[in-house]
Amino acid sequence: MKIIQGGVTAAKGFQASGIHAGIRKNKSKKDLALIVSEVPAQAAAVYTTNLVKGAPLSVTKENISNGIAKAVICNSGNANTCNANGIEVAKEMCSMVGKALNIDPADVVVASTGVIGQPLDLEPIANGMDALVASLSADGYPAAEAIMTTDTKPKEVAVEFEIDGKVCHLGGIAKGSGMIHPNMATMLVFLTTDCAIDSKMLQKALSNDVQNTFNMTSVDGDTSTNDMVVVLANGLAGNTPIIAEGAAFDTFMKALNTVTVALCQMIAGDGEGATKMLECTVCGAADLQTAKTAAKSVICSSLTKAAMFGADANWGRVLCAIGYSGAKVDVSKVELHFASKAGKILVCENGTGVEFSEDLAKKILLEDEIEILIDLHSGDAKATAWGCDLTYDYVKINGDYRT
């Protein structure tokens, strides 16, 4: 298993493109992305659990109900959510792609991200379709750029792995900076692989993986209406198709997890206004759910996030967040370290503070990737959650997002 250059086109037989079609006013921002597999791909997806669901999600769900997709269309700048004509507009986007690529519109995955509750104008998309198809290439970067909203950088990653002697690839792109607190799925993530795997096993792999990756990531506690993770597997690596659990499935799961964890770290580190990526690992828990609940509570605590912004080793806020998490924890056993590449420092053990060097703590917390390491000393279960600090810029970005 090794990490390689590229993202959504790292796997054989995938092309992608991204252009500025005019959905967003700023002409320097791309706003329309297309991903195409040269052969029909097995498809699986997970979606937001928000009761308010973006129209594109319903259309995608219907389109991949047969486990097959050939293309993905995604626009930024408008979420096509809470609009009376949302379904109609999402279907029309699929029809445009179907016509341009000469494929069945029902083999198209459609996604939208941006402001909620403003009708999405189809004209720029119709006008841009020829250019979008003409610029399809083996470079996935323009597509990663085109799905960004308040993201400050494109997010892509890919891995290479072997299954029964065949070299396989799995890569993906993600967007997500605000309204990040996925539940069952995340912001928009598009994954592609040339590994041959049946759509049912693909869905199983994805559904399991998101529980420990995207669902453990939070920027602001707001679960979006448009969260979606889609994976397309076109089988061009030539391995014996994975149709059941076993060693090949395990290898695939590991490849998937390598890519999704990297994307979670990128999403968290690029959280709206963030200056730091926070990674909270809880070990020594009585069971997995306890570890996950405690880790996620720490990552979601506004007070902890603000303290990290200020590089303040205010460990009482971390303990407080464990205490109200709902997890059954014996707080008198909790041990807590802060760590970064500048070092590691013990700040609390047996649930009470210990003397520590404020200077070293400051130095550690001034880094841009911080680890919050918690040992509950009550068992063997372990979980990690990803988040970011709470900054002035988060408020600035969200105080006038629409205007």
Smaller CB distance to a second copy: residue 152 or 353? 353
Known catalytic residue: 186?
yes
Six-digit token string for 144: 């990663």
Six-digit token string for 290: 């306890």
Q: Pick one of 25, 27, 28, 51: the residue that binds a second copy (CB under 8 A).
A: 51
Number of amino acids touching a second copy (CB under 8 A): 63
Smaller CB distance to a second copy: residue 6 or 178? 178
CA distance 96 to 119: 18
Smaller CB distance to a second copy: residue 179 or 236? 179
Map the footprint of a second copy across residues 220-249, applying CB under 8 A: 220-225
Q: Pick one of 68, 87, 100, 116: the residue that binds a second copy (CB under 8 A).
A: 116
Does 87 help bind a second copy (rule: CB under 8 A)? no
Smallest gap, in angstroms, from Cβ of residue 90 to a second copy? 15
Length of the chain: 403
CA-CA-CA-CA torsion for 241, 243, 244, 246, nearest 10 degrees? 0
CA distance 191 to 75: 17
Residue pair 16/232 in contact by the 8 Å Cβ criterion: no
Chain-centre distance of CA 169, in angstroms? 19
Q: Pick one of 66, 95, 152, 352: the residue that binds a second copy (CB under 8 A).
A: 352
Smaller CB distance to a second copy: residue 12 or 181? 181
Closest CA to 307 of 344, 343, 269, 278: 278
CA-CA-CA-CA torsion for 26, 27, 29, 30, nearest 10 degrees? 130
Q: Pick one of 314, 342, 373, 375: the residue that binds a second copy (CB under 8 A).
A: 314
Smallest gap, in angstroms, from Cβ of residue 140 to a second copy? 29
Residue pair 308/280 in contact by the 8 Å Cβ criterion: no
- Other beta carbons within 10 angstroms of residue 275's beta carbon come to 17
Smallest gap, in angstroms, from Cβ of residue 173 to a second copy? 23
Residue pair 150/113 in contact by the 8 Å Cβ criterion: no
Map the footprint of a second copy across residues 156-175, applying CB under 8 A: none
Site map (CB under 8 A) of a second copy, residues 199-218, x = contact: --------------------
Does 322 help bind a second copy (rule: CB under 8 A)? yes
CA distance 251 to 266: 23
Amino acid (one-letter) located at 324: Y
Does 310 help bind a second copy (rule: CB under 8 A)? yes
Smaller CB distance to a second copy: residue 67 or 351? 351
Catalytic residue selected from 9, 48, 60, 186: 186
Q: What are phi and psi of 215, to 5 degrees?
A: -75, -5
Does 357 help bind a second copy (rule: CB under 8 A)? no
Does 22 help bind a second copy (rule: CB under 8 A)? no
Smaller CB distance to a second copy: residue 257 or 289? 289
Does 88 help bind a second copy (rule: CB under 8 A)? no
Does 1 help bind a second copy (rule: CB under 8 A)? no
Instruction: Decide: helix, strand or coil at residue 305.
Output: helix
CA angle, residues 213, 181, 191, in degrees to nearest 5? 45
Does 315 help bind a second copy (rule: CB under 8 A)? yes
Closest CA to 113 of 70, 171, 84, 72: 72
Does 90 help bind a second copy (rule: CB under 8 A)? no
Map the footprint of a second copy across residues 378-397, applying CB under 8 A: 390-392, 394-397
CA distance 101 to 42: 18
- How many helices and strands in the chain, by DSSP H and E? 11, 15
Smaller CB distance to a second copy: residue 39 or 395? 395
Does 309 help bind a second copy (rule: CB under 8 A)? yes
Q: Point out which residues bind a second copy (CB under 8 A).
A: 48-53, 79, 81-84, 115-118, 178-179, 181, 183, 220-225, 300-303, 306-307, 309-310, 312, 314-317, 319-324, 329, 331, 348, 351-353, 390-392, 394-403
Q: Which residues are known to be catalytic?
A: 186
